[in-house]
Structure formats: C-alpha cells, structure tokens
Amino acid sequence: MYLDNAATTKVHPEVYNVMQNASFANYNAKYYQEAEMTKVQIDDATSLIAANLNVEPESIIYTSGATESNNHIIKAMFELYPNKHFITSMIEHKCVLETFKYIESKGANVTYVAPNNNCEITVGAINHALTEDTVFVSVMHVNNETGVINDISAIQKLCNSKNILFHSDAVQALGKVEFDYRTIDFISFSGHKINGPKGIGLLINNTKIKLPSLIHGSNQQNGNRAGTLPNELIVGLSTAVDLILHTSNEVIKANKEYIIELFKKEFGEDLTINFPDNTVDSILSIRLKGEVNQIFLSDNKDEIKASTGSSCSINEPSYVLQACGFSQQEIRETIRLSFNKYDILQVD
C-alpha cells in the first residue's frame, strides 16, 4: 500500500492524457498555427485554474513548485521591506524556514511562532508576536507532518486590520479543506501533491503589489517569472486542480478509517492517533508504542510505503513534532500515513 501521498502523488491518467496532447510550440512565438494553439491552451488552462480557485487569471504565477513559490514571496517581501519585521511559525515546511533563515542572514528580523498543544498556530500567538514594524506574516494552511489545519482566515483578518501582508503555504490543503483562497493575500500550491506533474507550482498574488521576480530573464508572465512557459506541465496542472476540486473526500475518509482499523487490530492499546482533532483526512500521524519508526517502516516496506514524517528531513528527528512538545521517544514511535482521492485501499 502506498501511504506516502503527502510526499508525492501518482499522476492521474487524465492529467497524463492532456499533457501528451499539449501543443509543443513556444507560448511567446508568433505567426504560425502551433504557437496560436499553445496560446489558446495555456490561456484556457489558466482560466480553468483561476475559476477553480476563485482568483483572477492575472494573480497566477507559474513556478517550478511550492519550494520556489515560497522562496519567491519571502525573498520578495524582504526586498520590498528590508528593515521591517516578519513573522512565521516553527512548524513550516523546510523551504519556508530555510528561506526565512536565509533572509535573516542578510539582516532580516524574523520571529518564529510556536504552536499550541494541539500543534496549531493560533491567531492569538501571531497577534502576540506583532510589533509596530511587522509587515509580513507567513503561516501554512495544513501541516505536512501532522495534518493539523490552521485558521488562516482569522490570521488574514488580523493582518488586514493591521495593514500587514499575509502568505499561506496551502500545498497540503488544496482539495482537502474547502476554502476560498481569494481571501488570502499570497498562496503557494504544488502540482505533484494533487496528482499533477512534478516541476510545477503556483504562487497566487491576490494583491495589487508587483512582486520583484525571483527568476530573471525575458518578460514571460508579465515579468513575474522569466523562463519559457512549460505548456505540458501547465495543462497537466490545470486538469489536476480541476479534478481534485471536483472529487469528494469520501475515498480519503474511507482509506483513513480502514487504515486506523488495520493498525488497531495489530497494535490495540499501543496505537495512538497523535492529532485526533482539527486535521485533514489525508494525513494521519500515529504512534506505535515500543516501535522505532525507521525500523518498522523498513521491516514492513513491502506492505506499507510510508514515511516517518517529512521526506525532506528524513534523517533528522522531526522538528515539527519537537516544536509540538513531543519527546524524542514519541518522535521515534511516530509514522505518517497519507492518502489520495483516487486510490481505494483494498478492503478484504
């Protein structure tokens, strides 16, 4: 059983299909029919993404993935406001934390907010961290290790009331939590977490602010990001977004319940669900008393393909669980199981 969908997902057959049929010509080319076809396909794909996400097509910046989207927004904010104060959380994905550490090394003033007992980043904690100089806050929508959902609407409202810009890494939330992303200033998404292709992501800019580009070159994407537009990836991503937002969470829910039952049968009282409340159904963090996660997963790798936590920090004890107050023993006993919307797990 593949239970590592928070790390990456298999490309959906319909996504493959549209990618295979994508026009090959350069979006910026002129005069010939193939180039016209590319233009129509990419513009249609962008309109479809915009309609699904309820954002303006002009707000969409195509990137190489959420790592780039997160780098882009954080570095852009630092470039625009070098002497101001920034807030993020201790449990963000590495690509957010390392980018904040990078701008800190260039002189930025950054506060890393701790989660509460349920591993949530609360609006209260953000409020407490605000200073007169705060201009930018970044808090993820759903954590990739715990599955816990943060109330980003409340954080955006707080930011609005103080004229602060807000960004959310919503990679693990898209299609799992119903949400109107138009209400958030900046958002990051990734193709390969929603059964789309790897190598493409989105940075949505719902504000009127012109962000400095991260990647310089020609004037593609109105100067927001240089580089030839990847036709195949864009049409694939648009189909993946459309599919994920029009497919119910029933399979994910059923898969999660099935897996919990399976582990209950095997481990009984020795099974603990780390975060029973306020989580997405697609991510299940469990503890197996007396087991060592790496040994357990390696011994059972033919039956269960899963991770101890984030695949980006596989060899280190989870800094996320540490920030959430877990002991080293509890971290060692924890594994993360994650599900997708399209693969029904076998029920014998």
* Active-site residue set: 312
Shortest distance (Å) from residue 282 CB to ligand PLP: 11
> Which lies closer to ligand PLP via its Cβ, residue 67 or residue 122?
67
Taking CB under 6 A as the criterion, the residue among 4, 120, 169, 242 binding ligand PLP is 169
The minimum distance between CB 280 and ligand PLP, in angstroms, equals: 12
Q: Does the footprint of ligand PLP cover residue 85 (CB under 6 A)?
A: no
Residue 265 burial class via C-beta count within 10 angstroms: exposed 0-12, middle 13-18, buried 19 and up: exposed
Furthest CA-CA distance within the chain: 69
Phi then psi for residue 149, to 5 deg, are: -95, 130
Query: In terms of CB distance, is 23 or 73 closer to ligand PLP?
Result: 73
Binding piece for ligand PLP, criterion CB under 6 A, among 125-133, 165-173, 252-260, 299-307: 165-173
Cα distance from N-terminal residue to C-terminal residue, the chain: 13
Cβ contact 303:1 at 8 Å? yes
- The answer to whether the CB of 45 falls within 8 A of the CB of 232 is no
Contact call for residue 172 and ligand PLP (CB under 6 A): yes
Residue nearest to ligand PLP according to CB distances in the complex: 65
Binding track, positions 63-82, relative to ligand PLP; x by CB under 6 A: --xxx---------------
Quick check: 140 binds ligand PLP (CB under 6 A)?
Answer: yes
95 to 114: interface string for ligand PLP, x by CB under 6 A: x-------------------
Interaction of residue 18 with ligand PLP, rule CB under 6 A: no
* List of long-range contacts for 37-46, beta carbons under 8 Å, 24+ apart: 38/231, 41/231, 41/234, 41/235, 42/229, 42/231, 42/234, 42/235, 44/238, 45/234, 45/235, 45/237, 45/238, 46/234, 46/238
Q: 């390969």: which residue's tokens? A: 192
**Looking at beta carbons only, is 38 or 67 nearer to ligand PLP?**
67
Which element (helix H / strand E) includes 207? none
180: tokens are 């109107």
Contact letters for ligand PLP, residues 200-229 (x by CB under 6 A): -x----------------------------
Nearest distance from residue 154's CB to ligand PLP, in Å? 19
Cα–Cα distance for residue pair 323/114, rounded to 1 Å: 7
* Torsion angles phi and psi, residue 279, rounded to 5: -125, 160
If binding is defined by CB under 6 A, does position 314 make contact with ligand PLP? no
Smallest distance, Å, CB 261 to ligand PLP? 27
Q: Which residues form the interface with ligand PLP (CB under 6 A)? A: 65-67, 93, 95, 140, 144, 169, 171-172, 190, 201, 312
